[in-house]
Structure 1
């Protein structure tokens, strides 16, 4: 595996691209106007959004393969590594990029909201695929930020730039909502696989060995990042992935409670609870009564 280039600052990346730095904390790049660059794997020390104006080709989602012709937005959080090993060739870039350093956000409203933009933790195969109209909106956002960068920095620059970035990110939230909706059939397939995964898990010895399944475990088994999987489940069901797991747990517990020869503690350990009172607490929260009260009702 080739060398990973560490780009701690936007200026570091600009030097690599051989372009001028207008603002050390934020940048908008049009790759069609940048000299050809070598392939590289880069550890970015700042938020990076690439708008790739290429045919994305066949992309796999769940069990389906989809051909996207539109532009693609890829979101990279500080510390993530992205790129291709250097093979010595130079390529002419095409598309755009928005870069902004975490230092830009300190003390701003956007800084407090960044954790809400979960798509920065999506994997590359969970990128945002845009229509022509959405692409036009994105480029207009980029141009608005770049226009502000071309002004001399003053006391208003930071608030104007962060406000524009927030508008752009909010558009991306809307676009992802649309993407989840347009993949209804794919999402239903994922929901079915999620349900099957949980049922098979509890039908095995896994709970007694590994405990209760986590959202991260389910996402990994279904080949999604935890954030994308969680957002998809929330959009499709109105419940969080954790809530869906808990409902499955409770349904499985109810089935086991039908065997009155088993104690609550035995069922708890079978299901993967570390302590029986953890089961009792969850059961009362979801069902509205204690396990003993539920079983008493079953016994008539």
Structure 2
């Protein structure tokens, strides 16, 4: 098995792509003027945002694959693994890459909430697909960052560069919201599958074996990353995926507490709670009374 190549600095990435380093912590690359990524598996120690303007190659992300299409944005965060697979035919790479080191964000407004941009943890097959107008806006942001990199570094450089990176990421949030809306039929299919998954889960002995269904478990069963799945559920229902799961559990609990042959503790264990008091606390939080009080009231 080939060794994993660690990319832990902007300079190392630039050298691999054959472009100069204008700033030690950030780089904007016109991919048409850069060397193609070699066929290898890379462990990123930097943030990367790729805008691919033409179909140009097959990537491996974890165990999945993604075939780039025109106008696609892919995000990579430190610690993630990205592999470039061999292509049978040569291709010309066109597009842009933004690479920045986590140290660039230290003591900046962006550094305080970079983790709020959940798309850095999406799978590559959950990439952002841009309209022509959206792509123009993203390229404009990249060119503003590139302009700053061409100037002499001064006390304003970091603030201006990180502000423009944040502007780009804010546009990406808007464009992802649009993508969730325009993929309405696909989203509804995911929600239907999610509901069926929960029904099947509680029709089996999995709650006793595995405990409560987690967001990560449900996302994995639906072949989605937890963050993308969570964002999709939130956009469609107004609830977080965790709240949606809890709502389903409480609906089941309301039915099962009326079984006079079972104690509240037995119901809790059947639903996957490790400790009955956790079930009682959640039930009271969502219903306003304890399971026993609910049983007696009805």
* TM-score, reference length from structure 1: 0.92
* Cα distance per residue 1:31-86 (max 9 Å; x no partner): 111245532322121000010112489xxxxxxxxx99640000000121212246
Change (3 A) 1:56 1:279: farther
Instruction: Report the number of matched residues.
Output: 289
Give the conservation status (yes or no) of the 8 Å contact 1:257–1:295.
yes
Change (3 A) 1:4 1:89: farther
Give the conservation status (yes or no) of the 8 Å contact 1:2–1:85.
no
Residues 112-123 of structure 1: matches in 2 within 5 Å?
112-123=112-123
* Counterparts of 2:249 and 2:167, CA distance in 1: 40
Secondary structure at 1:50 match in 2: strand
Match of 1:191 in 2: 191
* Counterparts of 2:160 and 2:275, CA distance in 1: 52
CA displacement at 1:257 relative to structure 2: 1.4
Give the conservation status (yes or no) of the 8 Å contact 1:128–1:179.
yes
* Counterparts of 2:253 and 2:21, CA distance in 1: 60
* Counterparts of 1:35 and 1:274, CA distance in 2: 54
* Cα distance per residue 1:139-168 (max 9 Å; x no partner): 000000000100000000000000000000
Give the conservation status (yes or no) of the 8 Å contact 1:145–1:164.
yes
Match of 2:49 in 1: 49
Q: CA RMSD in A?
A: 1.9
Match of 2:264 in 1: 264
Match of 2:30 in 1: 30
Q: Greater CA deviation, 243-252 or 260-269?
A: 260-269
Give the conservation status (yes or no) of the 8 Å contact 2:53–2:95.
yes
Match of 2:102 in 1: 102
Residues 267-278 of structure 1: matches in 2 within 5 Å?
267-278=267-278
Secondary structure at 2:15 match in 1: helix
Give the conservation status (yes or no) of the 8 Å contact 1:38–1:90.
no
Match of 1:210 in 2: 210
Secondary structure at 1:259 match in 2: coil
Secondary structure at 2:27 match in 1: strand
Residues 19-168 of structure 1: matches in 2 within 5 Å?
19-36=19-36, 38-55=38-55, 70-85=70-85, 92-168=92-168
Instruction: Extract unaligned runs of 5+ from structure 2.
Output: 58-66
Give the conservation status (yes or no) of the 8 Å contact 2:56–2:91.
no
Give the conservation status (yes or no) of the 8 Å contact 1:37–1:90.
no
Q: Greater CA deviation, 289-298 or 118-127?
A: 289-298
Match of 1:225 in 2: 225
Instruction: Extract unaligned runs of 5+ from structure 1.
Output: 58-66
* Counterparts of 1:297 and 1:185, CA distance in 2: 41
Change (3 A) 1:274 1:172: same
Secondary structure at 2:20 match in 1: coil
* Counterparts of 2:138 and 2:164, CA distance in 1: 11
